[in-house]
Structure 1
Amino acid sequence: MPDAKWRVALLIYNGAWASTVFSSLELFHSANLRQPKDQQFHCDLLSSDNQPVQLYGGHSINGDTMIGEQSYDLIILAHYWGDFEQVTQQHPEIPPWLAQQYAQGARIAGINSGIFWAAEAGILNGGRATTYWRHLREFEQRYPDIQWQANQASVEHAGIYSSNGQNASMDLSLHLLEKFCGPSLAASLARDISFDSRRINDVNLINIAGFRQHRDLGIHRAQDWLDERYTESLELQHLAKQIGMSKRTFIRRFQKATGELPSRYLQRLRVEAAKHSLGNTQDSIKTIGMGVGYRDVSSFSKVFKSLTDVTPREFRSRLRPSHSHTTSK
Structure 2
Amino acid sequence: MIKVSILVPEQSVMQAIADPQYCFSAANQFLQIAGQAPLFDVKLVGLNHETKLNEGRFSVFADRLINEEFDSDLVIIPALFGDMSTAIAANADFIPWILKQKEQGAEVASLCVGAFLLASTGLLDGKKCSTHWGFVNEFRRMFPFVEVQDGSIITEEHGIYSSGGANSYWNLLLHLVEKYTDRPTAILASKYFAIDIDRNNQSSFAIFQGQKEHKDVEIQKVQEYIEKNIENKLSVEELADLVALGRRSFERRFKAATNNSVLEYIQRVKIETAKRSFENSRKNINEVMMDVGYSDNKAFRTTFKKITGLTPLEYRNKYRKMA
What is the TM-score with the length of structure 1 in the denominator? 0.60
In the alignment, which residue of structure 2 is the partner of 1:166?
166
In the alignment, which residue of structure 1 is the partner of 2:298?
245
In the alignment, which residue of structure 1 is the partner of 2:18?
22
**Residue type matched to 1:213 in 2?**
S
In the alignment, which residue of structure 1 is the partner of 2:83?
83
**Residue type matched to 2:298 in 1?**
M
Deviation of residue 255 (structure 1)? 5.3
In the alignment, which residue of structure 2 is the partner of 1:210?
200
Deviation of residue 244 (structure 1)? 3.7
1:6-50 deviations in whole A, cap 9, x for unaligned? 000110111111111111111111111122351110001100233
Indicate if the aligned counterparts of 2:88 and 2:116 stay in contact, CA closer than 8 A: no
In the alignment, which residue of structure 2 is the partner of 1:127?
127
Indicate if the aligned counterparts of 1:79 and 1:112 stay in contact, CA closer than 8 A: yes
Match of 2:30 among 30, 34, 39: 34
Separation of aligned partners in 1, 2:125 and 2:169:
22
Structure 2 counterpart SS, 1:102: helix
Instruction: Determine what percentage of the aligned residue pairs are the same residue.
Output: 24
In the alignment, which residue of structure 1 is the partner of 2:290?
none
Does 1:137 pair with 2:137? yes
Indicate if the aligned counterparts of 2:164 and 2:202 stay in contact, CA closer than 8 A: no
**Is the deviation greater in 249-258 or in 20-29?**
249-258
Separation of aligned partners in 1, 2:45 and 2:58:
16
**Cα distance change of structure 1 residues 213 and 256 upon mapping to structure 2, 3 Å threshold:** closer
Structure 1 counterpart SS, 2:298: coil
Deviation of residue 142 (structure 1)? 0.6
Indicate if the aligned counterparts of 2:168 and 2:202 stay in contact, CA closer than 8 A: no
1:222-265 deviations in whole A, cap 9, x for unaligned? xxxxxxxxxxxxxxxxxxxxx9415xx8777655556xxxxxxx
Separation of aligned partners in 1, 2:302 and 2:297:
13
Separation of aligned partners in 1, 2:191 and 2:85:
40
Indicate if the aligned counterparts of 1:13 and 1:55 stay in contact, CA closer than 8 A: no
Deviation of residue 187 (structure 1)? 0.6
Separation of aligned partners in 2, 1:168 and 1:88:
22
Separation of aligned partners in 2, 1:74 and 1:102:
9
**Residue type matched to 2:101 in 1?**
Q
Task: Please identify the structure whose Cα radius of gyration is greater.
Answer: 2
**Cα distance change of structure 1 residues 25 and 70 upon mapping to structure 2, 3 Å threshold:** same
**Cα distance change of structure 1 residues 212 and 92 upon mapping to structure 2, 3 Å threshold:** closer
- Displaced runs of 4+ in structure 1, greater than 6 A? 249-253
Unaligned segments of structure 1, at least 5 residues: 197-205, 221-242, 259-329
Indicate if the aligned counterparts of 1:119 and 1:125 stay in contact, CA closer than 8 A: yes
Structure 2 counterpart SS, 1:45: strand
Structure 1 counterpart SS, 2:177: helix
Structure 1 counterpart SS, 2:124: coil
**Residue type matched to 1:55 in 2?**
L
**Is the deviation greater in 182-191 or in 56-65?**
56-65
In the alignment, which residue of structure 2 is the partner of 1:70?
70
Equivalenced residue count is 217
Separation of aligned partners in 2, 1:123 and 1:257:
30
Match of 1:7 among 3, 7, 17: 3
In the alignment, which residue of structure 2 is the partner of 1:194?
194
Separation of aligned partners in 2, 1:42 and 1:54:
24
Unaligned segments of structure 2, at least 5 residues: 206-270, 276-295, 310-323
Indicate if the aligned counterparts of 1:13 and 1:54 stay in contact, CA closer than 8 A: no
Separation of aligned partners in 2, 1:255 and 1:122:
31
What is the TM-score with the length of structure 2 in the denominator? 0.61
**Residue type matched to 1:128 in 2?**
K
Indicate if the aligned counterparts of 2:8 and 2:60 stay in contact, CA closer than 8 A: no
